[in-house]
Structure 1
Amino acid sequence: MGGAEFYILNSIQDDGSIKLAEYHVTIGAFESINEYLKGFQKLKAKISFQKFIKNIRKYNKFIVLTKGDENEWSRFSKNVITIPNPQTFKINQKGLTLPREKLAVAVGRFEPEKQLDQLILIWKRVVDKYPDWKLILKGSGSQRDYYQKLIDDNNLKSNVLLEQPGVEMDAFYRNASMYLMASKFEGFSLVILEAMQSGLPVVAYNCKYGPSELISDEENGFLVPLNHSEDFLGKIFKLIEDEELRRTMSVKAIENAKKYEIEKVMDIWKNLFEKLHNDK
């Protein structure tokens, strides 16, 4: 938990410097990992977590990416604040709200915590009702062969495609009608932000804590209770069946993404530095 520099920096005392730590891992990741630990490994993780908390308190500010994580970490330390990630994705926004392909997309590592196998099985039921709709999963990782077998076993070769990560993400998002996320936990999700910049309504599990930071439920997307696949399917159907809803949510997604323009996020950092300097 935390690299060596995290522990070394705050061990330097009486040098007059202001010390900040920025942490991108959501607290939900630790909770998920702890579910699988037993005996000595669980005890070791608990000791490591306590050491981490002790060191957080030594910094002037401990900076996390979401309000949900700020609330969680603030149970252990009073110096926690939120500064989100800025946009890192540049797109041509001309024509983003025009009609799009009958396509849903998801981007992420092909690893168990992303739960993309759930999306494949959910999409099987989408195809049963709407056989002309497709799902593209873009990424790489240890679960690729498993996902492909799941696709093959469910006769979804024509409707669910696995693609390698690429640089042409503008066109990838632009062609789609919705973005899907089934993760068990997420930090501040840059892929959701990218999708929103591209005018995509998002359907996501309301995991800790990234999706709820970006999605206003029923406005620019849908937040679904974690692992409630029936509800998730229902939200997909709602978007498929209502083109006007997709268009309205698209406009609101684009507007919401503007809050994370790099100039606006850098102003938050600048204000923090000025305040810490003036309070010194």
Structure 2
Amino acid sequence: MILLDGKATAQSIRTELKAEVAGLTPRHGRAPGLAVILVGEDPASQVYVRNKERACAEVGIASFPHRLPDDTTQQDLEALIARLNADEAVDGILLQLPVPKGLDSRRCLERIRPDKDVDGFHPENMGRLAQGLPGFAPCTPAGVMELLRRYGLSPRGKRAVVVGRSNIVGRPLSIMLSQPGEYGDATVTLCHSRTPDLAEQCRQADFLFAAIGRPKFITCDMVKPGAVVVDVGINRVDDCLMGDCDFECICSSAGAMTPVPGGIGPMTIAMLMQNAVLAYKAHVGA
């Protein structure tokens, strides 16, 4: 079995971006700028934001953190987004999800300028993705596709099954897999909680992508021998992180598989860094 090492691959991407940023920064008089908004004290979100800030420092991206209290109002949050939209030093804006109850995250995401939407969640960027047009793709599915490219695992002409239909992962990933190209052209089935005989659908997959948010939901009897299995799930169980797939039993029959942790998580952050650099290049005319 091929272990799809997202951690090592993400490090390679950050190293490439660091070299690119080092060449661009003196030429344009400033580094790329990424503003990260964190509302509240959610422990998992705090970890994610720290990891993103470390990645920015490594690549050479200026990080502008905005940590807001739990009682932040919708009006105040939208006002901050408006200020960041107008700030020429800020190329990308990231609103860490989830936000506390009482705040409308969708409305906030729609307030972010599409050219600064480095998370790829704005309706304009999602629409451009659906139409195969240039724009920012959501970072997690983009990380999945980049990992496949780096390992030379093409789904072209293959059967791909995506388990999970969220707008953050499953739905955009299904679009990317079906788009024309060497690492697209898959026949895609998008499964969810209402899919009849889900196990049988999974067993037909040459490429199986799990993004359902349930620990060890995908078991070895649901996986076709030799299949490529990409586990997007990150679930905390008894202070341990585990994926949506039962790695121990599946790895003996899969052709290739991502671990959790160390698989898609690092790739998501690497794609965020890449989107921030792309936004910067568009803004400075590089």
TM over 0.5, shorter chain: no
Q: Which has the higher contact order (CA 8 A, sep 6+)?
A: 2
TM bucket normalised to smaller: 0.3 to 0.5
Length-normalised TM-score, structure 2: 0.32
